[in-house]
Structure 1
Amino acid sequence: MALPLLNYKPSSQNQRVANYEVPGDEQSRIFSTDNILDATDMDALIEAAYRQMFFYAFKWDREPFLESQLRNGQITVRDFIRGLALSKTFYNSFYEKNSNYKFVEHCVQKILGREVYNEREKIAWSIVVANKGIQGLVDQLLDSEEYLSNFGYSTVPYQRRRILPGRVEGERPIHISNPRYDAYHRTQLGFPQIVWQSQVKRFVPQEKKATAGNPSLFLGMARSISPTSAAPARVSTGDINIATKVPYRKLSQ
């Protein structure tokens, strides 16, 4: 007998607040089959779905059969997202490389477009994974009222309310805040490998490079000079004859 979904109380999150800001370039672009005009728009929608679920899809990661069904109107965008979430690429990239708790975070971020509310919600969906497997979790997320009310059957999920008015910096993109590999697997792979930063720090623009005669060009030569000097003689106080070394002035009679 499968356990029911554990009750959890939603915390105060940005995506639960009504949207009042004026749309701009920083806002997430919405891709939907409701406003598809030509094949180019459909290509952009499919790429957006891959970017939301995989961050980047190589040729090996793509699902040509699902793409063909979506282009021909045989399945909805919601079905396409379901197929990507149950694909071999998603399984190998996010389920095998993480614990159930971390996998739940990935699924909630990518499918519902928000962060996990709290630890209780994370535990609740982890129980669904343990009882119903990956397909049970994906089906329950896609059938939830939250998904249907925000994305419906025709809109690609996106990160909701990422830009926060009144703050210098909003929420980070989900693929940056929650990397694909867990901490253990990042350690095994030697991540992070930040090699390029040292090259960037050493880069000097052309207008700031030292010209001929600049004293900074002789800095290396000056540092290479190591002058040698005799060490000062060490004198012990026991070797000083105070009677002979200290001046003495005779008083007149």
Structure 2
Amino acid sequence: MAIPLLEYKPVTQNSRVAGYEVPGDDQPIIYSAELLPSQSEWDELIWAAYRQIYCEHQILKSDRQTFLESQLKDGQITVRDFIRGLVISAPFRRNNYETNSNYRFVELCVQRVLGRDVYSEKEKIAWSIVVATKGIEGFIDELLDSEEYLDNFGFDTVPYQRRRVLPQRDGGETPFNLKTPRYEFYYRTILGFPQIVYQNEIRRFIPQEKKAQAGDPSLFLNMAQGLGVQGKSATKPNLGSINLGMVPYRKV
């Protein structure tokens, strides 16, 4: 008997709040196969799927799923089936599942498949139980069959990070591939990084009010020392050659 998915409370996230935004460069481009794309558009859609699932820093030429690509272009599978094939593929398993715990793997899959962050630790625990009981393929099927995925992406749209741009922030939300490293902290320590780099130069913090302002002579000290100009030093007289008899003195 399969264990049912534990209940967890969704929290208010930008992906759950409807809003109007002016289109800009920071907004994700939506790729859909609903209108029968051309050959070049198919290539862009497939590349967008690779970027979303594999992330740009993990895409290798040898990791391409050419059989799935041909099935997608021939109309034998949908975009949703193509996404499923990428997530359960050997490269994705090797780069994300085998190098992380179930909790970390759940976080990565929720970000890349559902296009949002996990709500809480309870959601991580709930989905990690599904991974442990049904395996990777059962877990991915649960995500792709969920009402959240079908309402936002359906069968023909490539998943993307939803509501990434925030009007009240200059930079918006950080993309998932930048704020979620491939390796978890535990595996990063095993691999020996991050490494401490010692610098020969000691940098000291100087408050703004103590920094030299424009026109301060100290700013020109290095320039003056770099000129290499040396003044002539005064010669010292030889005291032994002085005739004391020739020195005038006052008679009383």
TM (norm. structure 2) is: 0.76
Deviation at 1:137, TM superposition (A): 0.5
Partner residue of 1:161 out of 160, 163, 183: 163
* CA distance in 1 between partners of 2:221 and 2:175 (Å): 46
> What residue number does 1:103 align with?
105
Aligned residue pairs total 207
Deviation at 1:152, TM superposition (A): 0.3
Letter in 1 for 2:150: L
Tell me if 1:183 matches 2:171: no
* CA distance in 2 between partners of 1:137 and 1:49 (Å): 19
* CA distance in 1 between partners of 2:83 and 2:69 (Å): 11
**Structure 2: segments with no counterpart, 5+ residues:** 198-219, 229-252
Identity of aligned residues (%): 61
> What residue number does 2:90 align with?
88
> What residue number does 2:33 align with?
33
RMSD between superposed Cα atoms in Å? 2.5
SS in 2 for 1:15: helix
> What residue number does 1:19 align with?
19
Deviation at 1:220, TM superposition (A): 7.3
> What residue number does 1:54 align with?
54
SS in 1 for 2:34: helix
> What residue number does 1:238 align with?
none
Tell me if 1:171 matches 2:173: yes
> What residue number does 1:137 align with?
139
Deviation at 1:35, TM superposition (A): 3.6
> What residue number does 1:152 align with?
154
SS in 2 for 1:70: helix
* CA distance in 2 between partners of 1:18 and 1:194 (Å): 44
Letter in 2 for 1:103: F
Q: Deviation per CA, 1:136-186: give whole Å up to 9, x if none.
A: 110000000000000000000000011111122321100111111111222
TM (norm. structure 1) is: 0.76
**Structure 1: segments with no counterpart, 5+ residues:** 196-213, 223-253
> What residue number does 2:211 align with?
none
1:108-119 → structure 2 map (5 Å cutoff): 108-119=110-121
